[in-house]
Every structure is written in C-alpha cells, then in structure tokens.
C-alpha cells in the first residue's frame, strides 16, 4: 500500500515569501503524482499533475518536482499571497487510478 506523508502539517508565512511544501511516498513505482488545493469546506482543485516520466511541472507561480528514486515531491509557490492560504494535498497514483493522499499541509499567508 502506498503511504503518503506531508510535512509540515501547517505553515504560516508573511506575504511575498516563497512556499516550499514537501510530500514523501513509500512506493517508488508511483505512476503519477498530483497536487491539489482545498479551501475550507470545499472540494479539491487540481493544481499540477506530474507523470512518472517527468521531473517537474510548472503553472504560473507554481512549480512541482518529482524524484521517484528518493520518494519525494515538492511544491513551490513563488511570491506567496494571502489568497494562497488553503490546504495543499499531494496524491500518488500506483495502479493507474487509485489516488493515495497525504493528510495535507495547511498554509496561512499573513498580509
């Protein structure tokens, strides 16, 4: 079974600081890794999908990397804004369809 861990569980930074969110997984046979954002009381919004053949993906201020050999993925958010405050979840896919989620990192960006 794929175990996914996200550290830290919570993070508070001043506006403008770059964010670094970590995700580790136990099975290097991971197929894809997907990062999501969840606002309080809401569903999940897909941010980035990294396929196993890729090492990183970028979208605007977001950049996610994937290192299968070390079992790690990192989400970078440049120049954070108060609107970036949310919980960020990573999820690995082993067998084509089943997402294994971490518990998330709750980010607060202080104005």
Partner 1 sequence: GAGVSQTPSNKVTEKGKYVELRCDPISGHTALYWYRQSLGQGPEFLIYFQGTGAADDSGLPNDRFFAVRPEGSVSTLKIQRTERGDSAVYLCASSVAPGGGTEAFFGQGTRLTVV
Which positions lie near partner 1, rule CB under 8 A?
A: 4, 31-32, 34, 36, 41-46, 49, 51, 89, 91, 93, 96-104
Q: Residue 18 or residue 55: which is nearer to partner 1 going by CB?
A: 55
* Least distance CB 97 / partner 1 (angstroms): 4
Q: Residue 6 or residue 80: which is nearer to partner 1 going by CB?
A: 6
Based on C-alpha coordinates, what's the Rg of the chain?
A: 13
Q: Residue 80 or residue 105: which is nearer to partner 1 going by CB?
A: 105
75-105 core/surface letters (b: 16 or more CB in 10 A; e: else): bebeebeeebbbbbbbbbbbeeeebbbbebb
* Helix/strand/coil for 95: coil
Residues 11 and 105: beta-carbon distance below 8 Å: yes
* Least distance CB 74 / partner 1 (angstroms): 17
* Least distance CB 82 / partner 1 (angstroms): 22
* Helix/strand/coil for 80: coil
Q: Residue 26 or residue 46: which is nearer to partner 1 going by CB?
A: 46
């Amino acid at each position: 079974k794929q175990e996914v861990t996200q550290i830290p569980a919570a993070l508070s930074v001043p506006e403008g600081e770059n964010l670094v969110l970590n995700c580790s997984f136990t099975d290097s046979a991971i197929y894809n890794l997907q990062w999501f954002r969840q606002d309080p009381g809401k569903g999940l919004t897909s941010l980035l999908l990294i396929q196993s053949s890729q090492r990183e993906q970028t979208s605007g201020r977001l950049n996610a990397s994937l290192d299968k050999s070390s079992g790690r993925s990192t989400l970078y958010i440049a120049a954070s804004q108060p609107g970036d405050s949310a919980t960020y979840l990573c999820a690995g896919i082993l067998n084509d369809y089943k997402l294994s989620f971490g518990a998330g990192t709750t980010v607060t960006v202080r104005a």
